[in-house]
């Protein structure tokens, strides 16, 4: 089979697509013929050796996939031909993927492979942050930075579904128009407008929550725009810069500053994570939320797909069509 392989840490252009041995499932495992795989910003960090967890080379990147079961090991609980979606630390950018059966779930009827693959990581991240960390309620003003990206647009979709009021912040008119189409009530171009002042103006100084997957120069003005007693959640640093926050702002405004990382959240709060995932699965099965797929690439162009994400060109999700 063909697979994308990272032989040494570097840039997307250092990846190669090559023939590798077909995987064979062991007990509790299954092999999936990958039909679609989603690209996430952590994939860029993993191939650069800059993610929180360092994967030994060589490895095949990619953490989200959807496809058809082709082989099962003892006790896997699936059968060949079933349509499944799965998350995995690595291995999705390939024609076949070897998975632990516990990481896979059936795709609901009516959902296509690309939507199923694009739903998992970003929507879980956004929903855990909104539901369990910020405890967003109906009518809350929620400010989303990087609102047209993967996690950002998922947060817009989910906050709207939760009947919150969304202020979407992004860096271009095209991105902000997409956010408005997805239900954002207000928007701000943080590269051309005063982010702090516009948050206060547009929300009536009532912003209860900021979700920040971007970091860099946007974090501090967004925190300053929060209402007294608000909650600021840091989710990642797609800008490439980890911000330094003056803690006196937290003190003077009574702000709660929280971090949320999906891997440790699921380990630290398994009951909340299980509840959130049940609720998300119900929303996806009902069609209440569906990811917006802004770009699609064939497997051979996986490096270009990763560059698209790394350079912050993406609207919504990027999907690799494998077969």
User: Beta-carbon neighbour count of residue 164 at 10 Å?
Assistant: 23
**pTM score, whole prediction:** 0.88
Q: At what angle do helices 150-161 and 113-127 cross, to 10 degrees?
A: 80
Report angle CA 109, 27, 100 to the nearest 5 degrees: 45
State residue 311's pLDDT score.
Answer: 85
Check: CB of residue 167 under 8 Å from CB of residue 185.
Answer: yes
Question: Which of 312, 41, 297 has the alpha carbon at shortest distance from 175?
Answer: 312
pLDDT in tens, 68-120: 999 999 999 999 999 999 999 999 999 999 999 999 999 998 899 999 999 98
Cβ(224)–Cβ(255) under 8 Å? no
For the stretch 213-251, pLDDT in tens is 999 999 999 999 999 999 999 998 888 899 999 999 999
Residues, the chain, total?
Answer: 323
CB 211 within 8 A of CB 162: no
Angle (CA) 187-294-19 rounded to 5° is: 145
* Each residue's pLDDT tens digit, 130-139: 999 999 999 9
User: Measured between alpha carbons, how far is 318 from 93 in angstroms, rounded to an integer?
Assistant: 13
Asked if 77 and 101 count as a contact pair (C-beta separation under 8 A), the reply is yes
pLDDT digits (tens, 9 = 90+) for 145-193: 999 999 999 999 999 999 999 999 999 999 999 999 999 999 999 999 9
Q: How far apart are CA 144 and CA 176, in angstroms?
A: 11
Residue 270 neighbours by CB distance under 10 Å: 10
Q: What pLDDT was estimated at residue 266?
A: 87
pLDDT exceeds 80 at position 299: yes
Residue 262 has pLDDT above 90, yes or no: no
pLDDT at position 238 is 84
Question: How confident is the model at residue 323, as a pLDDT?
Answer: 76
> What is the mean pLDDT of the segment spanning 8-12?
95
Q: Which pLDDT tens digit goes with each residue over 23-47? A: 999 999 999 999 999 999 889 999 9
């Amino acid at each position: 089979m063909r697979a994308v392989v990272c032989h040494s840490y570097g840039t997307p252009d250092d990846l190669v697509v090559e023939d590798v041995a077909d995987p064979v499932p062991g007990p509790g495992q299954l092999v999936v013929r990958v039909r679609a795989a989603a690209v996430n910003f952590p994939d860029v960090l993993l191939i650069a050796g800059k993610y929180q967890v360092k994967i030994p080379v060589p490895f095949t990147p990619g953490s989200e996939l959807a496809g058809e079961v082709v082989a099962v090991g003892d006790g896997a609980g699936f059968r060949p031909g079933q349509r499944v979606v799965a998350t995995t630390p690595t291995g999705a950018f390939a024609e076949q993927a070897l998975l632990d059966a516990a990481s896979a779930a059936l795709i609901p009827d009516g959902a296509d492979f690309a939507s199923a693959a694009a739903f998992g990581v970003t929507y879980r991240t956004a929903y855990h942050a909104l539901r369990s960390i910020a405890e967003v309620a109906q009518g809350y003003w929620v400010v989303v930075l990087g609102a047209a990206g993967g996690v950002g647009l998922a947060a817009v979709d989910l906050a709207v579904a939760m009947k919150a009021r969304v202020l979407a912040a992004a860096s271009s008119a095209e991105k902000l128009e997409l956010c408005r189409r997805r239900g954002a009530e207000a928007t701000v171009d943080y590269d051309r407008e005063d982010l702090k002042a516009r948050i206060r103006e547009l929300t009536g100084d009532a912003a209860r929550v900021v979700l920040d997957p971007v970091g860099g120069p946007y974090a501090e003005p967004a925190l300053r725009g929060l209402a007294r007693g608000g909650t600021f959640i840091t989710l990642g640093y797609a800008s490439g810069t980890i911000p330094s926050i003056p803690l006196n702002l937290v003190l003077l405004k009574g702000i709660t500053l929280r971090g949320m990382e999906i891997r440790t959240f699921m380990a630290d709060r398994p009951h909340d994570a299980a509840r959130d995932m049940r609720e998300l699965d119900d929303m996806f099965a009902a069609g209440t939320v569906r990811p917006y797929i802004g770009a699609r690439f064939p497997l051979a162009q996986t490096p270009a797909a990763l560059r698209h994400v790394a350079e912050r060109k993406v609207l919504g999700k990027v999907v690799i069509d494998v077969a």
